[in-house]
A and B are shown apart, each in its own frame.
Chain A
Amino acid sequence: MIAIVKRTDKNGIKPERKNSKNPIVQMIEDKKTVVAAIKKGKSLSTLEGIKVVSPL
């Protein structure tokens, strides 16, 4: 089993995005946004409408 060290912080709760876009298109576009944010060193928790989760 992989070991995970947690960095705790209080993330703000963001409202869920409401739209009827094809979810695959949404995933493709969101991934572009995430890639750009990582490149700029932006926290992913600041990305509006994108639900970053920690399922491990």
Chain B
Amino acid sequence: MSPLYNLTLNKDGSYSFISDDKHVYIIYFLQYKLIDADNNEHKVYSFGFSRNKEHATKSFTYRYDEKIKNTILAVINNFFAENDDKALLYFCYGDDGFARHRSITFKKWGREVANSIESYSTRIAYFEDYIYGCLMVQKDNPLKKLIIDAFEQNIREITSHGG
């Protein structure tokens, strides 16, 4: 088993952990509904995390810490262990110029989550920028196709409206 950091469930519903280098990570889940073409509602969660209250990245600032990746992957695996009929979404922003880099890292991590989880990546033209998005869902979720179709339909709507 890979070494992990222990999570604390905070009063506001977010989770946090402190790395060996004393960086504080906050992980949060926001709940939404996606409506599919048949008008069914699907509960989905937008997932994000920050380091030391910052979202932006600076190159080569921090020592690589495998336990951080392991902890985030464990959070995703735990999420699906407890919510196997739900979907998880992650968005990477371009405000610091590192959206694509974050997206690549996250895709790489996505290949290390449990084999039972599938990822669907997309790039969304949003105002003057690109946002990279990823939807994760259990492979054997019987509602998978409806959820993916609803996700893609909403992405198409944004793209056709130009953000």
- Which of A23, A43, A56 interacts with B11 by CB under 8 Å? A43
Indicate if the CB atoms of B7 and A5 lie closer than 8 Å.
yes
Indicate if the CB atoms of A31 and B11 lie closer than 8 Å.
no
Indicate if the CB atoms of B158 and A53 lie closer than 8 Å.
no
Indicate if the CB atoms of A2 and B30 lie closer than 8 Å.
no
Distance (whole angstroms) from the CB of B118 to the closest CB of chain A: 18
Distance (whole angstroms) from the CB of A33 to the closest CB of chain B: 10
Indicate if the CB atoms of A31 and B93 lie closer than 8 Å.
yes
Indicate if the CB atoms of A38 and B13 lie closer than 8 Å.
no
| B29 CB–A CB distance under 8 Å | yes
Indicate if the CB atoms of B48 and A34 lie closer than 8 Å.
yes
Which residues of the other chain, B, contact A5 by a CB distance below 8 angstroms? 6-9
Interface size on A, residues (CB 8 A): 36
With contact pairs A2-B7, A2-B71 given, residues A28 and B91 touching in the complex (Cβ less than 8 Å) = yes
Indicate if the CB atoms of A7 and B9 lie closer than 8 Å.
yes
With contact pairs A27-B89, A31-B30, A56-B75 given, residues A4 and B131 touching in the complex (Cβ less than 8 Å) = no
Indicate if the CB atoms of A44 and B12 lie closer than 8 Å.
yes
Closest 10 pairs (CB-CB, A-B): A9-B11, A52-B13, A45-B12, A44-B12, A2-B74, A35-B55, A27-B46, A43-B12, A51-B31, A6-B9
For this complex, 21 residue pairs linking A to B, each with C-beta atoms less than 8 Å apart, are: A1-B81, A4-B7, A7-B10, A22-B157, A23-B32, A23-B35, A24-B124, A24-B133, A27-B46, A27-B89, A34-B28, A34-B48, A35-B48, A38-B26, A39-B53, A39-B54, A44-B12, A52-B28, A53-B45, A54-B15, A56-B78
